[in-house]
Amino acid sequence: MTILALSDKSLFKTQAYINGQWVDAYNGATFNVTDPATGKVIAEVADLGVAQTRQAIESAQLAMQSWKRQTAKERSNTLRKWFELIMDNQEDLSIIMTAEQGKVIAESRGEVAYGASFIEWFAEEGKRIYGDVIPNTTADRRSIVIKQPIGVVAAITPWNFPNAMITRKAAPALVTGCAIVLKPAAETPLSALAIAELADRAGIPAGLFNVITGLNAPDIGNELTSNPIVKKFTFTGSTPVGKMLMEQCARTVKRTSMELGGNAPVIVFDDADIDKSVAGAIGTKFRNAGQTCICANRLIVQDTIYDEFVAKLTAKVSEFRIGNGFDSNTTIGPLISEKAADKVDSLVMDAKTKGAIATTGGDKDKAGANYYQATVLSNVTEDMRIFKEEIFGPVAPVFKFSTEEQAIEMANDTEFGLASYIFTENMSRTWRVAEAIEYGMVGVNEVAISSEIIPFGGVKESGQGREGSKYGLDDYLEIKYICIGDL
Ligand code: ADP
């Protein structure tokens, strides 16, 4: 087993965390966590099942009772300590993340800070959950609206952002007075457990933040979505799994937030600054080796600048250096698994057989089974699978359009609607296109659009609900109307 070079070894946890206790599975079962860069086992983690998931839900319910009665300021102070501890341990958390997820270490450092920012921000915003007094139509009554914590929250999170996808759910849940039971992806449980250790050190009371590690996602997921104690279910992951979990939640009418797949277009008009658009396309395409749900999936470029754009993009992309994320020279790490690399390869093969040209890359990389070359595909057309399917790898297909209407039509020709990007220097066009494209988020001449202060989320089959910002609190609150009559 590879030993990680942590300055604080006690952040390396392999037991699950329930009701403030570190626990093994009842039957002692464990599963392996491997480093995608080397294939080596880095941890054997407790493999829990339904009974312990239920136990966590029940302890969350109990813990919430006194937590929700604390003042917002008290809860905020505790969360603030959690934020500070995460930042104090940024380097160790980044090492754990790169070891289990593969992303380059600089990106891990960035994600830890990004993840922590949600805790900092919600700790502050949690003090500003206002109600309303509604002016009445009759003199003898008063109508009041208060907001209350929704109840026990269950969360399932993916492997591509092992820290931030957790904090952006846990922080608003906790600050509003809820408790949370989390099942992180089996590929990346170590980041979640390290965050739990810091939650414990920050003084977050036992039972409020629980981490269920386990391989049997369907059974654990079924308990989280069907247990009547759980009032809200929040998920980040693939669209097919999200749809199924929503159906499961319908049986007990749980509130759901879903952050699902994307098929982000980057529309580059001929009035854009081409160098800026190439840099932007690279920024949104290749982060985390292309494994983010807001990654550019389709570069849609105006015909008059198509050749110039492809040439400039190809020159830059061919400079990427593929390797282990711990190597400071590396700019693209491995994909999460060989299966993921195979899927990317099958999309590229499909495009090539239908006439696409790889101007750089276009194949698996010699660095190992999980690695894929940074790739640019030109001559890509809408009949290729890559137009419709989420790539989740370092491949940039460049499509061609001639008119603004056509660009909008192409951008909207998908069941997804998460992030989108436009490059243009024309202000009227900016407004026209930003309003016409069916996406939850639009970046104009900017691709680094995500942060704790904005409402992150999608429309259509990319999901529902928003994470981050003042809107991100609403998903964890119930509205209660109180009518005082007979005054
Ligand atoms: P990804 O492509 O990111 O792996 P998934 O939707 O498969 O997307 O996984 C996201 C999260 O959903 C992970 O934590 C995974 O364990 C979990 N998951 C996968 N299948 C199920 C299921 N049937 N029920 C509950 N959770 C699931």
Task: Exactly one of 120, 178, 223, 293 is catalytic; name it.
Answer: 293
Looking from the CA of 220 toward its CB, the CA atoms found within 13 Å total 25
Domain 9-261+462-482 architecture:
3-Layer(aba) Sandwich (3.40)
Q: Are 457 and 466 in contact (CB under 8 A)?
A: yes
Give every CB contact of residue 153 below 8 A, 6+ residues apart in sequence: 169, 173, 178, 179, 180, 181, 230, 231, 232, 233, 234, 476
Q: Tell me which CATH code domain 264-413+419-451 carries.
A: 3.40.309.10
Task: Exactly one of 111, 187, 197, 259 is catalytic; name it.
Answer: 259
Strands (E), 196-270: 209-211, 230-236, 255-259, 264-268
* Residue in the block written with tokens 């982000």: 264
Parallel/antiparallel/unpaired status of strands 463-464 and 209-211: unpaired
Q: Ligand 1 centroid vs 217 CA: distance in angstroms?
A: 7
Q: Give the ligand 1 atom nearest the CA of 186.
A: 16
Q: Ligand 1 centroid vs 260 CA: distance in angstroms?
A: 11
Residue intervals of the chain classified under CATH 3.40.605.10 are 9-261+462-482
Residue intervals of the chain classified under CATH 3.40.309.10 are 264-413+419-451
Indicate whether residue 238 lines ligand 1 (CB < 6 A): yes
Query: For residue 68, which phi and psi values (nearest 5 degrees)?
Result: -70, -20
Indicate whether residue 393 lines ligand 1 (CB < 6 A): no
Looking from the CA of 235 toward its CB, the CA atoms found within 13 Å total 28
- Per-residue pLDDT in tens (0 to 9) along the chain, 487 residues: 678 899 999 999 999 999 999 999 999 999 999 999 999 999 999 999 999 999 999 999 999 999 999 999 999 999 999 999 999 999 999 999 999 999 999 999 999 999 999 999 999 999 999 999 999 999 999 999 999 999 999 999 999 999 999 999 999 999 999 999 999 999 999 999 999 999 999 999 999 999 999 999 999 999 999 999 999 999 999 999 999 999 999 999 999 999 999 999 999 999 999 999 999 999 999 999 999 999 999 999 999 999 999 999 999 999 999 999 999 999 999 999 999 999 999 999 999 999 999 999 999 999 999 999 999 999 999 999 999 999 999 999 999 999 999 999 999 999 999 999 999 999 999 999 999 999 999 999 999 999 999 999 999 999 999 999 999 999 999 999 999 999 9
Q: Ligand 1 centroid vs 261 CA: distance in angstroms?
A: 12
Choose one of 53, 230, 241, 462 to mutate for the ligand 1 pocket test, by most ligand atoms within 8 angstroms of C-beta: 241
Burial bucket for residue 247 (CB in 10 Å: 0-12, 13-18, 19+): exposed
The separation between the first and the last C-alpha atoms of the chain, rounded to the nearest angstrom, is 72
The closest alpha carbon to 224, from 255, 189, 182, belongs to 182
Give the whole-angstrom CA distance, residue 360 versus residue 353: 16
Specify the residue with its C-alpha closest to ligand 1, atom 7.
Answer: 238
Beta carbons within 10 angstroms of residue 462's beta carbon: 28
Q: Ligand 1 centroid vs 218 CA: distance in angstroms?
A: 8
pTM above 0.95? yes
Give the whole-angstrom CA distance, residue 372 versus residue 363: 6
Q: Are 465 and 440 in contact (CB under 8 A)?
A: no
